[in-house]
Amino acid sequence: MPRVRVRYFAILREHTGCAAEALDTAAATAGELYRELDGRYRFPRLASLKVAINDEFRDWNSAIADGDDVVFMPPVAGG
Amino acid sequence: MPMAGFEFSRSPLVAAHLAQTLADDSCGALVTFEGWVRNHNEGRCVERLEYEGYEALGLAEGERIVAEAMERFGLLHARCVHRLGVLGLGEVAVWVGVSAAHRDEAFAACRYIIDEVKRRVPIWKKEYYADGDSGWVNCESCGAS
């Protein structure tokens, strides 16, 4: 199984109680990884959510590979 | 050399100093925008804010936005700086400055940069209210359901 690093920011960081974790996942895509983690954490329902892999915006069907750094981004609020 | 870029800052922004970095004898216009920490939002009294950024992706996306503005509006210089960390009322949370030969493109470009930064750069804002409550803007109303 691929081993990935997942990082959390803002409301997701507070919800999970951690800024980052390493985990082995059976998920093949970013979307599957999110659903797997949602099963564990019961993430808050958000109006929108984006995903980045290795510091680039990606779509939810993007494949997850060993060593990837994954970030799920809640709705932004800069400014 | 054009001054063009996006940065995060953990220390207070000094608007006059930032504007000076865009000075150029070939520019006839400087337009700046300052986003300030306001004491209310959606009917609640706000005492302070906390900004958190996904810095690697935020820098890359911020740089893309400034580059888009440079290209689209033919600017000579453009710069945006966003604060991170805890900010008190009245502090400058975000500063945008653009300089160009003429005012029309400077106004339009400044507006473009702040609008796109607010929409695209992964920065999150937590409000701390006078009643002791706090919440992440754009996240809590849905999260409560």
Q: pLDDT at position A69, please? A: 98
Picking from A48, A65, A57, A70, the residue whose alpha carbon sits closest to that of residue B141 is A48
CB contact under 8 A, B139 and A79: no
Residues in contact with B67: Cβ distance below 8 Å, sequence separation at least 6, in sequence order: B4
Picking from B36, B40, B42, the residue whose alpha carbon sits closest to that of residue B141 is B42
Q: pLDDT at position B143, please? A: 45
Q: How confident is the model at residue A25 (pLDDT cuts 50, 70, 90)?
A: very high
Give the pair of three-digit tokens for residue A27.
């998920």
Give the pair of three-digit tokens for residue B138.
């754009």
Q: pLDDT at position B141, please? A: 65
How close is the nearest chain B Cα to the Cα of A79, in Å? 6
Mean per-residue pLDDT for A14-19? 98
Beta bridge partners of A20: A7
Chain A CA closest to residue B115: A79
* Residue B42 forms contact with A (CB below 8 Å): no
Minimum-distance CB partner of B142 among A7, A47, A77: A47
Give the pair of three-digit tokens for residue B104.
């029309």
Beta bridge partners of B45: B40
Per-residue pLDDT of chain B in tens (145 residues, 90 and over written 9): 888 899 999 999 999 999 999 999 999 999 999 999 999 999 999 999 999 999 999 999 999 999 999 999 999 999 999 999 999 999 999 999 999 999 999 999 999 999 999 999 999 999 999 999 999 999 986 544 3
Q: Which residues of B touch A76 (CB under 8 A)?
A: 118-124, 138
How close is the nearest chain A Cα to the Cα of B101, in Å? 27
* Residue B139 forms contact with A (CB below 8 Å): yes
Instruction: List, for residues A26-74, the tens digit of each pLDDT value.
Output: 999 999 999 999 999 999 999 999 999 999 999 999 999 999 999 999 9
Q: Which residues of A touch B119 (CB under 8 A)?
A: 76
Residue written as tokens 């400055």?
A: B97
The amino acid sitting at B69 is A
Picking from A50, A6, A55, A54, the residue whose alpha carbon sits closest to that of residue B124 is A50
Q: CA A5 to CA A68: how far, in whole Å?
A: 6
- Interface A–B counts its CB contacts (< 8 A) at 86
pTM of the model: 0.95
